[in-house]
Homo-oligomer: A and B are copies of this chain.
Amino acid sequence: MKLTTRGRYAVTAMLDLALNGDKGPISLAAISQRQDISLSYLEQLFAKLRKNDLVASVRGPGGGYRLSRCREQINVADIISAVNESTDSTSCQGKGDCQKGEACLTHHLWDGLSHQIHDFLSGISLGSLTEQNEVRRVSERQISAAEETVVNAEALNL
């Protein structure tokens, strides 16, 4: 499984949705602000998330995104696969033709590792993440930081 910041961004954004999306859709602008991810990069990620039916969009003022299923039914492996369109560690995408049409020496090793990682991540749902104390604490900090920014902006007459 390919683990890059791309997947991290996607999971973080989806977790933001799970945490803050109880009362209506969440705009990418809000996620961008809370999670420090560039808006247009988020747009690209959410295009893929939408194609993979993990989120649904609501257009127009007050619009944004919401999870397309309940948070217990979306796991981390789903999210990473959606934005990476690849879930394994082998160079041959599990086909076994890594060396001139045949399996390379370590093909089985990477194959096993891919499964290991996938199993681990698919056992973790957005729901279970939102229940973690650590996550809640960080989330609350982010919300107050965002509110503070709004207050500051108002004080400056913006």
Q: Is the CB of A134 within 8 A of B108?
A: yes
Minimum CB–CB distance for A88 against chain B, Å = 10
| A87 is an interface residue with CB less than 8 A from chain B | no
| A11 is an interface residue with CB less than 8 A from chain B | yes
Binds B, one of A42-50, A62-70, A109-117, A150-158: A109-117
Binds B, one of A21-29, A51-59, A97-105: A97-105
Interface size class on chain A is: 35 or more
Q: Is the CB of A141 within 8 A of B102?
A: yes
Interface of A is mostly: helix
From the candidates B3, B107, B112, B138, name the one contacting A105 in the complex (CB within 8 A).
Answer: B138
From the candidates B103, B110, B135, name the one contacting A8 in the complex (CB within 8 A).
Answer: B110
Minimum CB–CB distance for A112 against chain B, Å = 8
With A and B bound together, what is the CA distance between A144 and B1 in angstroms?
Answer: 32
Q: Which residues of A, 1-51, contact B by the 8 Å Cβ criterion?
A: 1-3, 5, 8, 11-12, 15-16, 35-36
